[in-house]
Copies of this chain bind each other. A is one copy, B any other.
């Protein structure tokens, strides 16, 4: 009854991702996830509100990290470069947290379900707003800060898509740098 299970959350996340990949997100129940992880449903609900949250867990922390790192970028950095400091912080955290393989499978699950896609877009829009807020705090006009937030997220998404693509071996931080350089070329 409620006894502590080692790494229960990680086991639940891994079990959920296996099942979503095998039988689809919609065809998977919380009971099945818990059983696959060798845990109870009750333990599942100690970590996640529902099966969707397994895919979006940690998004709030990432958003804080993104905005916090951009806010702490060196004084005098250009707005896009301050935003890039935030992106690098998130890139490092994602690389270290569940890693590329998890991200790859998560991406495939989301791509197969319109409701999850919309949720993902909504999450990224909220990251963009948080980043814009941090950039604005640095003294950048609000409209420009919003634009920088959105453009930075576009860079991040481009890097992320490369990161989870088949055969890609560079880490996410490096791919963020590559995408940022491409942006500067395409816009400059």
Picked from B119, B158, B187, the residue with its CB within 8 Å of the CB of A187 is B187
- Known contacts: A80-B187, A151-B154, A187-B187. The answer to whether A182 contacts B122 by CB under 8 A is no
Scoring A151, A157, A184 by chain B CB atoms within 10 A of each residue's CB, the highest score goes to: A151
- Known contacts: A183-B187, A184-B188. The answer to whether A150 contacts B157 by CB under 8 A is yes
A117 at the interface (CB under 8 A from B): yes
Q: Which of A169-188 contact B (CB under 8 A)?
A: 179, 182-188
In the assembly, how many copies of this chain are there? 2
For A143, what are the chain B residues with a Cβ–Cβ distance below 8 Å?
Answer: 158, 162, 179, 182
Shortest C-beta distance, A177 to chain B (Å), equals 13
- Quick check: A186 and B79 within 8 Å, CB to CB? yes
Shortest C-beta distance, A128 to chain B (Å), equals 8
Scoring A121, A122, A143, A147 by chain B CB atoms within 10 A of each residue's CB, the highest score goes to: A147
- Quick check: B157 and A80 within 8 Å, CB to CB? no
A144 at the interface (CB under 8 A from B): yes
For A125, what are the chain B residues with a Cβ–Cβ distance below 8 Å?
Answer: 121
A161 at the interface (CB under 8 A from B): yes
Shortest C-beta distance, A8 to chain B (Å), equals 31
Picked from B79, B117, B144, B186, the residue with its CB within 8 Å of the CB of A78 is B186
Shortest C-beta distance, A159 to chain B (Å), equals 9
Picked from B117, B153, B182, the residue with its CB within 8 Å of the CB of A144 is B182
A interface with B by C-beta (< 8 Å): 78-80, 114, 117-119, 121-122, 125, 140, 143-144, 146-148, 150-151, 153-155, 157-158, 161-162, 179, 182-188
Given contacts A144-B182, A151-B151, list 4 more A-B pairs with CB under 8 A: A80-B186, A147-B158, A184-B188, A187-B188
